[in-house]
Structure 1
Amino acid sequence: MNVRARLRRLVEVTTALSTETDLEALLDRVLGCARELTGADAGTVYTLEEGALHPRVIHNDTLGLRLRAGEAEDRLGPVEVRPDNVSGYAALHARTVHVPDVYGSDAFDFRGPRRYDAQTGYRSRSMLVVPLTEPGRRVIGVLQLLNALDPATGEPGAFHPEDAELVEAFASGAAAALRNARLVAELRATLEGLVRALGVAIDAKSRHTGNHVQRVAELNVGFARAIQDASEGPLAGVRFSDEELEEIRMAGWLHDIGKVTTPVYVMDKATRLQGFWDRLDTIRERFAAREAVLRERLERGADPEETRAALERLREDLAFVEGANRPGPPMRPEEEARLRRIAGETYGTGCEGPLLTAEEIRILATSRGSLTPEEMDRMREHVVWTARILGQIPFPAHLSRVPEIAALHHERLDGSGYPEGRREGEIPLAARILAAVDVFEALTASDRPYKPPLPREKVVGILRGAAREGELDPDVVEALLAWQGYA
């Protein structure tokens, strides 16, 4: 390759490096391009970390090696930054070193290359070592090239003087690209850490949800990968890019972030009368006061049969109220009528009051599960807040759908979900996956203080029932059950 062609190629490869943001792939390209420009048979890229040079990429055409990251480190091990070591010298002084004959040079300690040659059968002849420097001549790594090959004969020889100039120019662009890739990696790590911290914080807010967010995040991306790997079934052929998998994983971590606005007493409400305080305790005190009045009447000579019947009815009524306090469907009309009859009873003497207030009757009669309609609305608002909160984050383009996926995990195919009442064609697959995983985790979680995990057959029945009723995607449900070994 003549000088003009090499310069043109230098511009091309340096420009190409600027578009690579994956650190490992970038280092591999750096070494490959440097070898292409110089005709080197082998080489290593070291990064300077914590006072040592760590091999990150190794190429050796003669030995057929292409090693990255941990494999490269295992192969060579870290190199001390010392002036008697050729790579250490280049790093310490930010200076290029050309060694035409490794075995004939006494300028540096070459016991390491010789030991490597003895172990592998390779023969290190020439070496070109170029520091990778940031502005201000801060060294961040070293590019080491071995054995320049003669284009005509293929025999190894010394590097040409212009090789050093060319690689130095290339190394400047490579160092800039490496710095950018590191910044991108650090920003990704920061975003990842913040996302995980938010998920952990939401889990910590409620003692009743255990590690729900963390488990959903793990299940969500694991299930998406399982769908992608499936060779049969209705979802066979579905493929997700790496960026889409990252979106799915991050949406799992953030799907309940809106619960930061949900009152803890609503999230932790285990019974209908529970709130800022447990109303049932107050009701029991009233019943006890009513019982005391009845017993006092009995002692004063009231009709024994009638009074004992009133005491028995009082115990039955309290048991009914306690049962009505447990989570369940809204009351039937006859049950609500009984509540109103109980409320007609009074307690105390002198300053009498009803056994049940109008508000307590409303709470017991209208609650679904443990929540009143107003509390259910408040709970459902968390997905609206999820969309609002995540909408304030400037996600990069490849994560732009995270807010939508996270905010739609309570939508249902038949339009009965919330917050928007979307239907089948309006709910992306990633959100359908998250919806099924969210339900599955809630049914199977073993870390809930208020309930054990449901039996397998019940989990299957609930999920298939939701699919049959048009709420959850039946293909997603069946794939999830199969992946978890429930099918």
Structure 2
Amino acid sequence: MSELSNTQIAERLQHLTTLSIALNDIKNVKLLLERILQTAKNITNADGGTFYRVSADKTCLEFDILINSSLSLHYGGSKDKSDKMRAIPLSFDNGEPNLDAVVAFAANRKESVNIEHVYDTPIFNFSGMRRFDEVHDYHCQSLLAVPMLDHNSELVGVLQLINSVDCNNGQIQAFDMTDQLFIEALSSQAAIAITNQDLILQLENLLESLVNLINIGIDEKSANTGRHCQQVPKLTMMLADAVQASKEGPLKDFSMSENERYELWLAGMLHDCGKITTPVHVIEKATKLQTIFDRIDLIDSRFEILGRDAEIRYLKQVIEAGKSSQLVQALQDELERFNCDRAFLAHANIGCERMQDEDLERVMTIANESWIDYLGETQPLLTENEVENLMIRAGTLTGEERKIINNHISVTIRMLEALPWPKNLQDIPEYAGGHHERMDGKGYPRGLCKEQMSVQARVMAIADIFEALTAKDRPYKTGKTLTESLRILGRFSLNGHIDPDLFRIFVSEKVYLKYAHEFMDSAQIDDVDESQIPGYLIQ
């Protein structure tokens, strides 16, 4: 075996240096492991290599990657795995460590195994390797198995190299001590990088679990809002991808990296996290008079009393003056008026887009009526609070309740800005906190205008509105059709509410239709005439 020249040693050091740089850049663990194995093969000029990772429960070594140059085999990593490669147990059924398989030996002893002639070594069971040789007409001669240990000496995996090839004559040779030292150095460095990647993934999973935990809390308060928290990020990503794919218009240069896509998705998941502080009776207010229960029932009871009192008056008059057609008609007229007012208030209790002025006046007229309570005291038919709620022009929320609802975005921003976001996630508060701002600066909570907002925040604003319009599970409304929703959005694009450039992409790239087919009820998916959508011109 010839000694390595200074040039060859320099080349190996260069391989290690290149890998060291790559370890910090490669975020995909599968590609990272493949790069490590390829580098190990290059350093030792090995014909084949296999990488095993220790299983999550620490009971076995799971096959991850196999590469063999002369056989042109490549399983795992950037390629599909082979179902023929079996996991190797680290211990037997009796609890004794597995020292028969060479990679299990290296793993259990945490030491390298360097064999010059594989089948002349009786202490290991090479039955699996023999089967491989028979199937592929191959001969495994030399072997180097190196355990990969992290900074805590915890096992990460085992790197196994097969058949070192002499560069001068192409003959198979043993892996020398220099080979072993280089691979041990590489394995140590790679194990730490893999561990760091695993820790990053664990932290990301923890972060996502905490986000889901918040949404579960919101969902427990309101199943309707919980669905909203899941759907908005999905629609946000659909529109963001469509914007990135556009090749013309003011947004043709917009692009996002994978990290930026993840940041936007996470912001979408958190965009309503402040609602965890919003009172349930406000979030779930299905009718104008609803608090813990719908107080229209109290008003119904008063009308029942009014009707009963009218009947009592009639009966008294009958006793005193005798039955007359005038008395009967008067009673019927009065009861009919009560029933009409009662039905009107029941209808007024349901939220609408805009209550008519004459209906508001009628509420006040009814409020001036009175009834006698069980103490014999005269009370107004409607309390001040009931009048305030029944005269809500649009929706079901009073001005004070609207402030409470609107405050959720301020709470969201405060919650998110209080977190020590890493650099790659530091824009989450801005993305999540801007979905109630308007392009004309009339939104809330900060009154930002279009130029002060990122494209991502403007995308989320459209997703938030469209999901709310089409959602069929809100307690205070039914889900609108595609045509109705797009016409409302179109008007919003004209009056400075949403970004008109983003809206045009939303329509032209059929983002609305993709979302509809995936998440909307089929009854809401009507045929949209895009030429009739305000603010949208067909190209």
Shared fold (TM-score greater than 0.5)? yes
Q: 1:239 to 1:75 in 2, by over 3 A?
A: farther
Separation in 2 of the partners of 1:404 and 1:75? 50
Contact residue 367 and residue 373 of structure 1 kept, 8 A: no
Which of 46, 61, 78 is the equivalent residue of 1:53?
61
CA distance in 2, matches of 1:151, 1:74: 33
Q: Does 1:300 align with 2:316?
A: yes
SS at match of 1:74: coil
C-alpha distance in 2, partners of 1:169/1:206? 55
- Counterpart of 1:253 in structure 2 is 269
2:231 to 215, 221, 226: 215
In the alignment, which of 224, 244, 262 is matched to residue 278 of structure 2?
Answer: 262
CA distance in 1, matches of 2:474, 2:386: 28
Q: 1:74 to 1:221 in 2, by over 3 A?
A: farther
Q: Quick one: which of 359, 384, 406 aligns to 1:358?
A: 384
Is this contact kept in 2: 1:414–1:423, CA < 8 A? Answer: yes
Q: What is the DSSP-based 3-state SS (H/G/I as helix, E as strand, rest coil) of the residue aligned with 1:65?
A: strand
What's the counterpart of residue 340 of structure 2?
A: 316
Is the 8 Å Cα contact of residues 207 and 449 (structure 1) preserved in structure 2?
no
Q: Which amino acid aligns with 2:155?
A: V
Q: Aligned residue for 2:87?
A: 78
Q: Is the partner of 2:391 in helix, strand or coil?
A: helix
Q: 3-state DSSP class of the match of 1:29?
A: helix
Query: 1:408-464, CA deviations, whole angstroms, 9 ceiling, x for partnerless residues?
Result: 111121223211121111221111221112222223335456655322222222222
8 Å CA contact 2:264–2:428 kept in 1: the answer is yes
Deviations 1:59-94 (A, max 9, x none): 333315263188336352322333121111111111
One-letter identity of the residue aligned with 1:396: P
Give matches, 1:224-243, under 5 Å.
224-230=240-246, 235-236=251-252, 238-243=254-259
Structure 1 position 244, deviation (Å): 0.8
Distance 1:330 1:72, change over 3 A: closer
State the distance in 1 between where 2:477 and 2:350 align.
Answer: 13
Instruction: Supply the distance in 1 between the matched residues of 2:361 and 2:131 (Cα, whole angstroms).
Output: 92
1:233 deviates by: 7.2
CA-to-aligned-CA distance 1:235-256 (integer Å, 9 cap, x gap): 5553210111001110111111
Distance 2:331 2:362 in 1: 20
Find 1:206's aligned residue among 203, 217, 222.
Answer: 222
Cα displacement (A) at 1:333: 4.2
Higher alpha-carbon deviation: 374-383 or 208-217: 208-217
CA distance in 2, matches of 1:260, 1:301: 59
User: CA–CA distance in 1 between the matches of 2:54 and 2:223?
Assistant: 45
Distance 2:223 2:209 in 1: 23
- Structure 2 contact 113–144 (Cα < 8 Å) conserved: yes
> Is 1:331–1:364's contact at 8 Å kept on the other side of the alignment?
no
Does 1:16 find its partner at 2:21?
yes
**Structure 2 residues not aligned, in runs of 5+:** 91-97, 319-325, 514-527, 531-539
One of 411, 414, 417 as aligned partner of 2:440: 414
Instruction: Provide, for residues 81-136 of structure 1, a one-character-per-residue CA deviation record: whole Å limited to 9, x for no partner.
Output: 33121111111111211122334443422222232233345443321110112356
Q: Secondary structure at the match of 1:328?
A: coil
Q: Tell me which moved more, 105-114 or 389-398.
A: 105-114
Shift of the 256–136 alpha-carbon distance from structure 1 to 2, 3 Å rule, reads closer
**Aligned AA (1:34):** A
Identity of aligned residues (%): 35
2:461 maps to 435
Distance 2:477 2:397 in 1: 17
What secondary structure sits across from 2:38 in the alignment? Answer: helix
Matches within 5 A, 1:320-335: 320-329=344-353, 331-335=355-359
2:211 match: 195
Task: Output the CA distance in 2 between the equivalents of 1:76 and 1:231.
Answer: 46
Aligned residues: 487
TM-score normalised by the chain length of structure 1? 0.91
* TM-score normalised by length of structure 2: 0.83
The answer to whether the 8 Å contact 2:437/2:443 transfers is yes
Determine helix, strand or coil for the equivalent of 1:53: strand
Q: Write the mapping of 1:270-281 to structure 2, written as runs, cut at 5 A.
A: 270-281=286-297
Q: Are the equivalent residues in 1 in contact too, given 2:165–2:172 (CA < 8 A)? A: yes
**Alpha-carbon distance in structure 1 between the residues aligned to 2:471 and 2:384:** 37
**DSSP-derived class of the 1:398 partner:** helix
**Matched letter for residue 298 of structure 2:** T
SS at match of 2:337: helix
Structure 1 residues 135, 366: closer, same or farther in 2, change over 3 A? closer
State the Cα deviation string for residues 27-47 of structure 1 (Å, max 9, x = none). 223223222322223212211
- Structure 1 gap ranges (5+): none
Aligned mates of 2:312, 2:180 — CA distance in 1: 107
Structure 1 residue 174: Cα displacement: 1.9
What's the offset of the Cα at 1:291?
1.5
Whole-angstrom CA distance in 1 between matches of 2:343 and 2:296: 11
Instruction: Give the Cα–Cα distance (whole angstroms) in 2 for the partners of residues 225 and 80 of structure 1.
Output: 44
* Amino acid aligned to 2:439: L
Q: 1:121 to 1:193 in 2, by over 3 A?
A: farther
Moved more, 472-481 or 255-264: 472-481
CA RMSD of aligned residues (A): 2.7
In the alignment, is the contact (CA less than 8 A) between 1:17 and 1:30 conserved in 2? no
Q: Give the corresponding residue for 2:517.
A: none
Separation in structure 1 between the aligned mates of residue 261 and residue 79 of structure 2, nearest angstrom: 24
Letter paired with 1:24: K
Residue aligning to 1:347:
371
Change (3 A) 1:74 1:227: farther
- How much has 1:229 moved relative to structure 2? 4.1
Say whether the 8 Å CA contact 1:207–1:268 is kept in structure 2: no
8 Å Cα contact 1:266-1:375 kept in structure 2: yes
